[in-house]
Chain A
Amino acid sequence: MKTILQAENLAKIYRVGSVDVHALRGVSLEAAEGDFVAIMGPSGCGKSTLLHLLGGLLTPSSGRILVDGEDLAAASDAERTDIRRRKIGFVFQRFNLFPTLTAEGNLRLAERIHARSNGGDDPARRREVLRLLRLEDKMHHKPLELSGGEQQRVALARAIVTRPAIILADEPTGNLDSENSQIVLSMLRELNERFGQTIVMITHNPEAAAVSRRIVHMRDGQITKSDR
């Protein structure tokens, strides 16, 4: 199968005052189209840093990142933003929805940014995504009127409504109770199985890891184990 994501020997050093924090020390990772990768590891081992690098929110200190054939590490700030716009959908632990917009408004915003203007309006796609995530009757609710699980489903809907090549999820169930976690996880699984959506997900939760196709373990800024 086609490789859609390829990271080679990534290093990331944060400078805090005069101290260098080595968050990543040579990480290589590959994901094929339709893959579902779970990244596990103790807190502070560099998982979020890796995910931010893969999505172009950060630049690596060294190494290469190819997203669907485009080199993120070599790209300028504006080019990375553009690759992110076209190819990446993010889901965060804190949901990060626009509080002033309704669920549908949040999806429309993602569409508009994706289409770079006021275009990109695809009500059919929106309805399909909202139905898939069982949110049809929540379309006109604002985030504060929704439960945590519903908010995360809206965030997931927002991430996939523009059909990105890859979804990057940073502890998507970290703020959810087990019931809502189950719902969100089964939806991720469904997206992956039915639509072949490539997903890279960070998690602490063994149950979450279980829905993935493979698990990558990290420790101290390095990948220690990768199982199928």
Chain B
Amino acid sequence: MDSIVVANIRQRPIRALVSMIGVALGVSLVLLFTGLARGMSNDVERRSANVRAEIMFTRPGSQELISSMANLSTKYVEQLQQIEGVEAAVPMILYVFQSGRGFGIERVEGVDWAPFAEMNQMRIVAGRPPEAVDEVVIDQTKARNSKTTVGGMLQVFGKQPYRVVGIYAPESGARVKMSLAAMQDALEVTGKCTYILVRCRNTDEQVEVAQRIDRQLPGNRIQFTRDVMTNIERSIPYLGVFLRVLTGLAAVVSALVVMLAMYTTITERTSEIGILKALGASRRYIIVEIEKEALLISVIGCTLGFIVAICAGSLIHRTYGLMFEYGWAWAITAALIGTLGGALGALYPAVRAANLDPVTALSYE
């Protein structure tokens, strides 16, 4: 073995490992956060793409991103159906609550199955629609994640379990749905709903229909589905900025960790740098040797970071149901950040080493 790079790393395996872990941390953080943002965003997008209603009719303040209430009278359904251009109106309760596992939020919908399924072209692929107050249907993803199937019991909210009577497809909105009456019963809001989904006769006329609704039923809130069910990146402002800041911080962490490691390494090996100089090694040679070592540490750290991100992602997914989707662009960014951060961090110690006075370095104890 005559490579000073490998020999150095073997000489100080713990220090090298700590630097690698530092780089790995930065890289895996970037991957996990961007993977989560992308996974959740795509998940919501997929589910909202299957909502065919163009308009959501609500009371002001009845539905926010992480909370909702049922304060809209279902009497509006008939009035809406009278309005010109409206094909169907389906009331729905969206109940958003803190998950029992203390992480993330869960959503359950209460909706009358037949009109809802007709409006959004949903089908029951196994079992039957929910009827009784303790019955729910779930989508295939929920069935897979909770390992429940038709006939099984599911803890939704409150103490009493719900019976899964059917599985529906495609996925749309909340993964767990019960009948509107069951939800009204559970929340003690008889005759109320969160919003009414309105499907237009002609999709191209949704703006005109919305204006008509506003004129005839003033004081309510009219939203277009395409605006509400947008991707998370747009609905959580500054998420993109946050991700970029995080990425920048990861780069700084990698750079600092490698810089510190190389700096101590070089102080410790001052006399070896003197030897290199006595042998006639140029400044460039010395810088390249130190950079090689930093790069090797960074590349191993990056690989470690990728492995950690993938394992942690799948563990979190299995435990909490959060979705991770890793994209090439972010993977490449993370890899570049780990390696470039390391290389950049090593540059200052490397240049310092190259500039050492050879006689002083040689006599260094």
Contacts and interface: CB of A to CB of B under 8 A. Distances in A.
B65 interface: no
Interface stretch (A33-41, A64-72, A88-96, A198-206): A88-96
A15 to B, nearest CB: 13
Contact of A113 (B271, B281, B358): B281
Given A105-B1, A105-B2, A108-B2, A85 B7 contact: no
A96 B1 contact: no
Contact of B4 (A52, A81, A109, A158): A109
B10 interface: yes
A97 to B, nearest CB: 8
Contact of A104 (B2, B4, B7, B281): B2
Given A101-B2, A104-B2, A96 B281 contact: no
B279 A110 contact: yes
B35 interface: no
A100 interface: yes
B280 A85 contact: yes
B2 A100 contact: no
Contacts of B276: 113
A100 B4 contact: yes
Contacts of B2: 101-102, 104-105, 108-109
A96 B274 contact: yes
Contacts of B1: 101-102, 105
Contacts of B279: 84-85, 90, 109-110, 113-114, 158
A81 B280 CA distance: 5
A115 to B, nearest CB: 11
A37 B278 CA distance: 20
Contact of B282 (A82, A98, A158): A82
A84 B271 contact: no
A57 interface: yes
A58 B359 contact: yes
B173 to A, nearest CB: 62
Contacts of A109: 2, 4, 279
Given A57-B358, A78-B283, A100-B10, A90 B4 contact: no
Nearest to A117: B285
A113 B274 contact: no
Contact of B11 (A55, A81, A100): A100
B163 interface: no
Nearest to A48: B359
Interface string B335-365: 0000000000000000000000011001000
A86 B282 CA distance: 12
A96 B275 contact: yes
B7 A81 contact: no
Contact of A100 (B8, B278, B359): B8
Interface string B1-18: 110100110110000000
B325 interface: no
A104 B1 CA distance: 9
Contact of A96 (B7, B280, B362): B362
Contacts of A92: 278, 362
A65 B362 CA distance: 22
A109 B282 CA distance: 13
Interface string B258-287: 000000000000011011111111110100
B38 to A, nearest CB: 43
A98 B362 contact: no
Contact of A90 (B8, B272, B278): B278
B39 to A, nearest CB: 45
A38 B7 CA distance: 37
Contacts of B285: 113, 116
A57 B359 contact: yes
A105 B8 CA distance: 13
Given A52-B359, A57-B358, A92-B362, A98 B4 contact: yes
B289 to A, nearest CB: 10
Interface of B: 1-2, 4, 7-8, 10-11, 271-272, 274-283, 285, 358-359, 362
25 contacts: A57-B358, A57-B359, A57-B362, A58-B359, A81-B280, A82-B282, A84-B279, A85-B282, A88-B280, A92-B362, A98-B4, A99-B11, A99-B272, A100-B4, A100-B8, A101-B2, A101-B4, A101-B7, A102-B1, A102-B2, A105-B2, A110-B279, A113-B276, A113-B279, A113-B281
Interface of A: 52, 55, 57-58, 78, 81-82, 84-86, 88, 90, 92, 96-102, 104-105, 108-110, 113-114, 116, 158
The 7 A-B residue pairs with the shortest CB-CB distance in the complex, in nearest-first order: A85-B280, A105-B2, A100-B7, A108-B2, A84-B280, A90-B278, A57-B358
Given A100-B4, A109-B279, A110-B279, 15 more contacts: A57-B362, A78-B283, A81-B280, A81-B282, A85-B280, A96-B271, A98-B7, A98-B272, A98-B275, A100-B10, A102-B1, A105-B1, A105-B7, A108-B2, A114-B279
